[in-house]
Amino acid sequence: MPDPAVPPTPPVPLTALLAREDLALRQIAGPSAEGVVVHWVHTSEMADPYPYLLGGELLLTAGVHIPEAAGSGTYFDDYVSRTVAAGGAALGFGVAPVHDTVPRALVAACERHGLPLLEVPEQTTFSGVARAVWQLMAQARLAELRRVTEAQQSLASAASRPDPVPSVLRQLARRLGGWAVLYGPEGTEIARAGREPGEEVGSALAELAAVVRPADGEAAPPPPSPPNRPHPTSATDTVTGTHLAAYALGAGRGFVLGVAAPGRAPGDHTIVSVAAVLLSLLTGEQQSGTGAARSAALVRLLLGAAPEDVAPLLGEGRRWVVVHACPDGEGVPDAVAAGALGAALGSALVDPAGDVVRALVPADRAPDPLPGWTLGVSAAVAPEDWPAADTQAARALARARATRAPLLRHAPRPALADLVPPDEAAAHARTLLAPVTAHPALPETLRTWLSLHGSWDRTAVALSVHRNTVRQRIARCATLLEADLDDPDVRMELWFALRQI
């Protein structure tokens, strides 16, 4: 019997069809419906259905094709044997209007050839049976898509945890109800999760991993491949009823993902493929050393090293920009959104802090506007000036939000203020602004208000406060400074001073 062509639709258990009370189908012959699945429905009154079947069908007939003397010959035996040879999953016989009952010879033939035979009652139309099959397929597809979507979300969340590789394996094993293991380039187990398989299954999975491991990362040579055939990137097997699969991760780095599960449910392959992609990214970073370099840089900073001493780990001689970004609309960006932003900026050095994501980006990758984000970008600086660049990016973002610009850059340029020695300028600023610096919110509100030309509404947007709060703070500044803030000379002097703090 040829293998039936498997369609891109989920199979329907025959038991689910028999359970539909509205159809009132009844199995009267053949093996148990348990384990029998239907891929589609086909109605035919041909005496030989073989040429018209693809395999996996529930074949429906009203017996129009049956000759009067069929019961005394081999007609039914030939008909059922040809249906089985074509890969038919089951036969449905409609009683009325041609036959009042299912022919006994047909029942006997189905018993002999092991074909489930269903009696379709008079009130049930063949189109109703077909519709029920499509409905069950749609429900199965929806359940599969929901399961895959939930698995994708949980795997992505696991990949953002501090221990991403073990977390992804744990989540994958839980979703499959089995076991997941990551093999290194030498064939050793790096991490595992889930229910431990037996020794036979574990050994078989390790051998399967060797089949897909690239030649330059194998502990033992793989079985020879036919000439001119590419090396396999995945392989499957079944051992003692356990389904095994192995996936090569990345391009020739030698990491392999192995999974073992008691069954193979729809969507499993998609779920494992998502995990393989995430682990490819994680192991690729580990193999290239960039992840280790970032970790070393972080540890050194936490232990008191200066930024300029740590920067060579992230790229010798580089200048950097700091980017502050906030998503358009409501909501706080999570770790996944921050990671996606970092990927778009070309940097993994991202920090989701409240409603703003901060990123440290090499200056040669200075960003362009990104859909869905508002960006503030600092000037290009050396590592020792990272804190100042962080302040620049924050101010650029506030101004971008207030002016509804998708991106604003801090762009320093020569000015008259550069003619004043920095020490003298700072001393003047401290003296002038002393009355307001005792109140932390006042200097920043005054700076933002001046930068936006005295606009109450845009200042409120930039500071995320009510416009009346801005008015109250500016009025308080005018009182404490004993100055007329409508005077352009006063504004100019205050702006000069605010740039020094």
Give the helix, strand, coil percentages of the chain, each rounded to 5: 50, 15, 35
Amino acid at position 79, single letter: Y
Across the beta sheet with 320-327, the strand order is 350-353, 356-362, 320-327, 373-377, 407-409
Q: Rounded to an integer, what distance in angstroms lies between the CA atom of residue 386 and that of residue 298? A: 14
Summarised one tens digit per residue, pLDDT across range 142-190 is: 888 898 899 989 998 888 877 788 889 999 999 999 999 988 777 778 7
Q: What gap in Å lies between CA 106 and CA 89, rounded to an integer?
A: 16
As its CATH architecture, domain 416-498 has: Orthogonal Bundle (1.10)
**Burial class of residue 123 (count of CB atoms within 10 Å of its CB; 0-12, 13-18, 19+):** exposed
**How many helices and strands, by DSSP H and E, does the chain display?**
16, 17
Residue of 455, 498, 413 lying closest to 490 (CA atoms)? 498
CATH of domain 160-288: 3.30.450.30
Q: What does the block give as tokens for 168?
A: 């992804």
pLDDT in tens, 359-411: 888 888 778 888 788 999 998 888 888 888 998 998 889 888 888 888 998 87
Which pLDDT tens digit goes with each residue over 92-141? 999 988 999 999 999 999 999 999 999 999 999 999 999 999 999 999 88
pLDDT band at 198 (very low <50, low <70, confident <90, very high): confident
Q: Are 325 and 375 in contact (CB under 8 A)?
A: yes
344, pLDDT greater than 90: no
Assess whether pLDDT exceeds 50 at residue 218. Answer: no
Residue 93 · residue 104 · CB < 8 Å: no
Supply the angle between the helices 456-463 and 467-481 in degrees, to the nearest 10.
Answer: 100
pLDDT at position 228 is 47
N-terminal to C-terminal alpha carbon distance within the chain: 85
Both structure tokens of 293: 């370099």
* Highest-scoring range by mean pLDDT, 208-222, 330-344, 399-413, 435-449: 435-449
| Lowest-pLDDT choice from 17-26, 154-163, 267-276, 292-301 | 292-301
Please give the pLDDT value at position 298: 73
For β-strands 242-248 and 256-261, DSSP reports them as antiparallel
Superfamily of domain 12-135: HprK N-terminal domain-like (3.40.1390.20)
What confidence score (pLDDT) does residue 412 get? 65
The span from the CA of 332 to the CA of 417, in Å, is: 39
